[in-house]
Structure 1
Amino acid sequence: MTGIALRDIRKSYPNGPQVLHGVSLDIRPGEFVVVVGPSGCGKSTLLRLIAGLETTAEGEIEIGGQPAGHLAPQDRDIAMIFQNYALYPHMSVRENIAFGLELRGMPRAERRARAEEVAAILQLSPYLDRKPKALSGGQRQRVAMGRAMARKAGVFLMDEPLSNLDNALRVAMRTEIKELHRRLGATIIYVTHDQTEALSLADRIAVMKGGHLQQFATPDEIYDRPANMFVASFLGQPGINFVKAEQLPDTRGVVGLTAGLRPEALMVHADRPEGASIEGKVILTEMSGAELIVHCETTVGRLVVASQRRTLTALPERIWIGYDLDEALWFDTTSGHRVQPPAESRSM
């Protein structure tokens, strides 16, 4: 297993803006790290720098405890899996998996055995003699993963590997990638813009915005204790509700803070409940499996509530939304940084 250290990584292109602004990460051996953020945040550039496909303007990259900035991509003990499968259409599955081993001069019998071993792990054994055009999208992606696995690299870099798949396949492949990590024990750095992939796959998540690292922590920490309003809004589906503290009935007098209320922490009532509540009007509802997503126009603005569908009967047009300030996240309205809850809310 191989660890990776990034120290104050900066990157810019000629006649262009700076893409990365002093990013530092310490990735432990065998860790599954997901780098997530919106388009243009620098996450794919960061992956390419680790792979050696691009060079840093400033900063240091260490792989396995050794400086790697001077190393060519083939000397970094790294296997990379891209969004585009990049399979050779004239080669069989077996040949595609073994192709990198052939370039490295491995004997034919040995690389054939390695390809078959990898195919068995990925449940591709029945398809070893097929060409890529005879495979489904998920099977093609597994072949691309198999080609990387065959090298037995210490680090796997994955750049949006599931983005070309339909939703059902994405869900299935997430499970397979998680199981693959458990089997291999390799270090995986996985880039995506999909927050569901980030939360479900990662040991730790690095959240990026505009080339700056916003937070690097476990999924639980990211969700429950986000560093700022951007992180809170980017992770979580449906998205978090933000309400200025002075607008909430039970925090009047508190200014300069914004309360973050997760949809699952709110409760919809047909009649006004005891305790803190906000009056609202149902705009629309969405069924999401066991949950019902309720969009409301309220006295403090638009709010989204996620409730167990079976607990809600027919909703009247006018409703009350109950909340518990102990469940709220608090942010400085000006800076956006998370802060301790105000004394007014802690005493309720």
Structure 2
Amino acid sequence: MSAITLTDIRKSYPGGAQVLHGVSMDIQHGEFIVIVGPSGCGKSTLLRLLAGLDPCEQGELVIDGKRANDMPPQDRDIGMIFQNYALYPHMTVLENIAFGLELRKVPKAERLARARAVADTLQLTPYLDRKPGALSGGQRQRVAMGRAMARECSTFLMDEPLSNLDNALRVAMRTEIKDLHRQLGATIIYVTHDQTEALSLADRVAVMKDGHLQQFDTPDVIYDRPANRFVAGFLGAPAMNFVPADCINGWAGPHNVDVGFRPEALTLHRAPVSGPSIAARVALTEMTGATFIVHCESEAGRLSAVVARGDGLPEDGEDIWLSLSPSQALCFDAITGDRLDHFNTAQRQAGAPCAVAPA
């Protein structure tokens, strides 16, 4: 039996604006699911429906085999962790973690014991007597997580829990959340607009756009075989490059397609090369640590390439050539944006050239 099943979920708000358009997902027990997409795509609305904070009026929501469309939040065995922590400033860490259990009339000795055990798991034991104002952002986030964990729910919903933290702390907290998932074995549904969080945390990723579920699959499938051009361009930093097929010499397929390739699939050359290549001019370089991102202008438009630091960095305005293996290219319908597997397979098997003519 699945932990949560959503079938044709639709949601409209007063005034007629539809936010969710027939979303269907089947989530297994113990999975870490990340819902990702740009602002306004419906991911937080979907989370509120799961929590019971908003009514589920169209479609069917099933939790642990029971229809949950009209089930009150307290009966769903779901803990929710919010972006803004929502801690009580006058309570200590221990009291904040135990507060939900107090509302459920759990005996004092039991709720304090459970709160201390959760605090130990989250490495919060030294701070049990402190109040939220005396904690760092990461510590406050862990207290919020601890309050949900103390309820011993089977499912946890997390609504952009790391968005208020600085970058270094977000990286550290991602590791903690992943370790926590392994320890608890609970189902986690995590909402974010950060693609790095999605790819690094999830067992499966649900990509949303304008209330539509674009793709629901493992991170490697999402990255390597995106369902459409939106998914391909949204996940990956820098974003995937797209080149119209009519800019490609020697193209074997139809011309109503766009060819997509990741920046790391390009190799930079300082002189013309044989085989598939793109003539370009360097517009800007960015250092990211071990690599550089080289932004270029070409006949096909703006392109990005990832270059190792030891490979030698071109200067702004320098003419370069970017080579590409056809096996690393994907084809997308120029009108619908859908990935075209039959053309991709043919191109890879034939090793067809995809050189863009020099400007």
TM-score range, shorter chain: over 0.9
Q: Which residue of 1 aligns with 2:108?
A: 108
> Aligned in 2, Cα 1:234/1:313: closer, same or farther, shift over 3 Å?
closer
1:279–1:320 CA contact under 8 A, matched in 2? yes
Read off the aligned partner of 1:72 and give its amino acid letter: P
Deviations 1:113-142 (A, max 9, x none): 111100111000000000000000000000
Q: Which residue of 2 aligns with 1:59?
A: 59
Matched residue of 1:188: which SS?
strand
Runs of 4 or more consecutive aligned structure 1 residues displaced over 6 Å after TM superposition: none
Q: Which residue of 2 aligns with 1:339?
A: 340
Deviations 1:38-89 (A, max 9, x none): 1111100000001011112211111111111121101100000000100000
Matched residue of 1:251: which SS?
coil
The correspondence of residues 234-313 of structure 1 with structure 2, limited to 5 A, is 234-251=234-251, 254-313=254-313
Identify which range, 229-238 or 14-23, moves more after superposition. Answer: 14-23
Count of matched residue positions in the alignment of Structure 1 and Structure 2: 348
Q: Which residue of 1 aligns with 2:324?
A: 323
Q: Distance in 2 between matches of 1:311 and 1:65?
A: 56
Q: Distance in 2 between matches of 1:153 and 1:142?
A: 16
Q: Distance in 2 between matches of 1:200 and 1:26?
A: 21
Deviations 1:298-347 (A, max 9, x none): 12211100121222245581111111111001101011000023645642
Q: Which runs of 5+ in 1 are unaligned?
A: none
Matched residue of 2:88: which SS?
coil
1:2–1:155 CA contact under 8 A, matched in 2? no
The correspondence of residues 1-348 of structure 1 with structure 2, limited to 5 A, is 3-251=3-251, 254-315=254-315, 317-340=318-341, 341=343, 343=346, 346-348=349-351
Matched residue of 2:9: which SS?
strand
Identify which range, 336-345 or 113-122, moves more after superposition. Answer: 336-345
1:16 is displaced (CA, Å) by: 2.8
> Aligned in 2, Cα 1:7/1:39: closer, same or farther, shift over 3 Å?
same
1:207–1:213 CA contact under 8 A, matched in 2? yes
> Aligned in 2, Cα 1:111/1:2: closer, same or farther, shift over 3 Å?
farther
1:246–1:253 CA contact under 8 A, matched in 2? no
Read off the aligned partner of 1:97 and give its amino acid letter: I
Read off the aligned partner of 2:324 and give its amino acid letter: Y
Read off the aligned partner of 1:69 and give its amino acid letter: N
2:326–2:347 CA contact under 8 A, matched in 1? no
Deviations 1:266-322 (A, max 9, x none): 111011122111111111100111111000111221110012122224558111111
- Give TM-score, length-normalised by structure 2: 0.94
2:56–2:70 CA contact under 8 A, matched in 1? no
Q: Distance in 1 between matches of 2:314 and 2:298?
A: 19
Matched residue of 1:54: which SS?
coil
Identify which range, 143-152 or 62-71, moves more after superposition. Answer: 62-71
Identify which range, 223-232 or 53-62, moves more after superposition. Answer: 53-62
> Aligned in 2, Cα 1:302/1:79: closer, same or farther, shift over 3 Å?
same
Matched residue of 2:332: which SS?
strand
Read off the aligned partner of 1:114 and give its amino acid letter: R
2:118–2:149 CA contact under 8 A, matched in 1? yes
1:250–1:276 CA contact under 8 A, matched in 2? no
Read off the aligned partner of 1:264 and give its amino acid letter: E
1:5 is displaced (CA, Å) by: 0.4
Matched residue of 2:304: which SS?
strand
> Aligned in 2, Cα 1:155/1:307: closer, same or farther, shift over 3 Å?
same
Matched residue of 1:216: which SS?
strand
1:115–1:150 CA contact under 8 A, matched in 2? yes
Read off the aligned partner of 2:13 and give its amino acid letter: Y
Deviations 1:76-107 (A, max 9, x none): 00000000100000000000000000111111
2:55–2:70 CA contact under 8 A, matched in 1? no
Q: Which runs of 5+ in 2 are unaligned?
A: 352-359
1:225 is displaced (CA, Å) by: 0.5
Q: Distance in 2 between matches of 1:17 and 1:346?
A: 46
Taking every aligned residue pair, what percent have the same amino acid on both sides?
65
Q: Which residue of 1 aligns with 2:355?
A: none
1:331–1:338 CA contact under 8 A, matched in 2? yes
Matched residue of 1:206: which SS?
strand
- Give TM-score, length-normalised by structure 1: 0.97
